[in-house]
Structure 1
């Protein structure tokens, strides 16, 4: 079987809600990232055989197959197809998995995978404005009219005995790590600055350097009157886009491209859809088993910070070292642009591994419906 390698991963800076990227149409934002990715690698877009794109809320500006439209907006040949998929928050991580499968199966030689989400333009929940999204049989099976990620995050905190103070400490640490990473230039090599009507955005703009335990303590619970989950220990609503260039090691050598990492293993699992956010735990167990590795073999983890309780419970159950978990901060600090987040986390992970000579990295994220993806990659030594 052919292998799959990642030549490069790049992303736009993450814009906060109604911030610097609010004026950018998601199709054009995706096109800018596509063009930036191929330009920095000297790759002729003619060689790209497919674009697999994640996007969660596919209505309005993000409707009508944003992946295909991004190819056209980039000015690439019309013969290059594009597809848009939705596995909730893991959409672009799944896009990477599908791209990997495509090149390993020999269906394509060069594929770009990624995703985009403009939550400033398409509000969270916009797709549920009409109709009955869960259907009568799902509602009957679980004896409920809707499913709440926020209540799921509260239930996780309760089951794992996580106090509000512990959750807020984790959130504050996320901001501190992200600020330190920005100051150290840790993201510089992965960012594609975006120039729009509001000027140029060249760094993630959601980090709150002035955050403190006192300020977090003053925020009201978001889902339960006596709850522990609030805006400050939850992911930020954001705009963003990221993309990865995927091929085989053989094709990379032919083109003179030097891969950063190779795909080792990937899984997608389902879990309880009511608590909804625990699936990263079994996903991690499954992907480690498939790769023949242990948790201690992994030098860096990217576990999406949808809510602080999610990676904290994951850490308890897996026994992962805390200093290897989200070493550059996470979505609490910089934001969670839904369909782009999987590719953003993978981009951060790959560059962090290269910068710090880390052999194995693992990415996982919770997803609506009680699902999770998990992926292990290996650094390719110079």
Structure 2
């Protein structure tokens, strides 16, 4: 049986992130299968691995309806012309879906059940916007909507609110001013723009042709963002609230894929192992605050690995909202220079189901470029969850 320390990452790739806008998004005329199939193929081609080596494919996706319904993982695999013998299934841990796909892939390999697994993610929010599933329920019955949550006592039991209001509660609880949140958002755009201009994303991005043009940069970065432009935006979740569109992640389109193997299989195939999966976790927390679970998750993972926050060379935390990052920073107190060094979802975008594997991809390349040893990723997820992954460069 393979041991957890023997799970290695051999390749990781992502598409550029497009705006999730039905008219302005660069991928508006592409199907989710096109984006996902492209990264499936690319992650294998770049590693020089035969698709038949893959024992299983796990793909994160949040809006699993319409174009992304009926097991998008499998459909995109077949759409790409890849071997029918390879099974694929779709994972939903909300925003952490593809990070959880990476973690489940690592667990499968660690258990000895598989030797080679692709963990991927996709979301096309230009075609299927956030909460698109709720619209379907008008005809076919309630999903996890306020109606069914109220019927089963969930709202009453936990006093649940929407994510935006949870983000506002976090800002209030941790005393995060609007100006402080906007400082982080400005930093995200500045760092993402600087990284793009320096070509720092070039190795991880798979250029994608759409609309007669090849796209190789992220569409959502706004180099002209200023403190003044952020301060001029109206609150979006509460009257006199602290959060605006500028301090929230962008709705986006994109796909990402990570190729994991047992170290033994990588050696047998002559494939270079680039990083080792040291640990991974899924954490629950207060569903009312909803987005605070990265805090206990980080503490738990540090404790069981006998580490302190200073041991982590690079940290990626998903910028769902600036207040999520602000609260985590206040509690864990890392060196901010080590956190999201190339910007985050506020600037780059947040294609829900694709973001976790995208962040792993970015983290791996950051570690190689900056000669870092340990990298950590955490994401908040709807329902009061968080995903976490600790990787060590080889």
| 1:137 is aligned to 2:152 | yes
Shift of 1:198: 4.6
Equivalent of residue 13 in structure 1, options 13, 16, 28: 16
Shift of 1:132: 4.8
Please give the secondary structure, in 2, of the residue aligned with 1:302. Answer: strand
Shift of 1:126: 0.8
Q: Distance in 2 between matches of 1:334 and 1:79?
A: 35
Q: Distance in 1 between matches of 2:56 and 2:316?
A: 26
Match of 1:53 in 2: 59
User: Pairwise mapping of residues 228-239 of structure 1 onto structure 2 (< 5 A)?
Assistant: 228-239=242-253
| 1:274 is aligned to 2:288 | yes
- Structure 1: unaligned runs, 5 residues or longer: none
Q: Label 1:213 to 1:11 Cα distance change in 2 as closer, same or farther (>3 A).
A: same
User: Pairwise mapping of residues 1-382 of structure 1 onto structure 2 (< 5 A)?
Assistant: 1-2=2-3, 3-18=6-21, 19-129=25-135, 130=137, 131-133=142-144, 134-135=148-149, 136-139=151-154, 141-142=156-157, 144=159, 147-380=161-394
Q: Is the 8 A contact 1:267 1:287 kept in 2?
A: yes
Q: Is the 8 A contact 1:265 1:290 kept in 2?
A: no
Q: Distance in 2 between matches of 1:39 and 1:377?
A: 23
Shift of 1:141: 4.2
Please give the secondary structure, in 2, of the residue aligned with 1:188. Answer: coil
Q: Is the 8 A contact 1:360 1:377 kept in 2?
A: yes
Q: Is the 8 A contact 2:275 2:391 kept in 1?
A: yes
- Structure 2: unaligned runs, 5 residues or longer: none
Note the alpha carbon deviations across 1:98-126, whole angstroms, 9 max, x for none: 10011111111110001000000001101
Q: Distance in 2 between matches of 1:167 and 1:319?
A: 16
Shift of 1:290: 2.2
Please give the secondary structure, in 2, of the residue aligned with 1:190. Answer: coil
Note the alpha carbon deviations across 1:23-64, whole angstroms, 9 max, x for none: 111012100111111111111111111110000010111000
Q: Label 1:228 to 1:140 Cα distance change in 2 as closer, same or farther (>3 A).
A: closer
Divergent runs of 4+, >3 A: none
Q: Is the 8 A contact 1:20 1:199 kept in 2?
A: no
Q: Distance in 2 between matches of 1:291 and 1:118?
A: 36
TM-score (norm 2): 0.94
Q: Count residues in correspondence.
A: 379
Q: Distance in 1 between matches of 2:44 and 2:281?
A: 28
Note the alpha carbon deviations across 1:44-88, whole angstroms, 9 max, x for none: 111111110000010111000000111101111111000001000
Shift of 1:197: 3.2
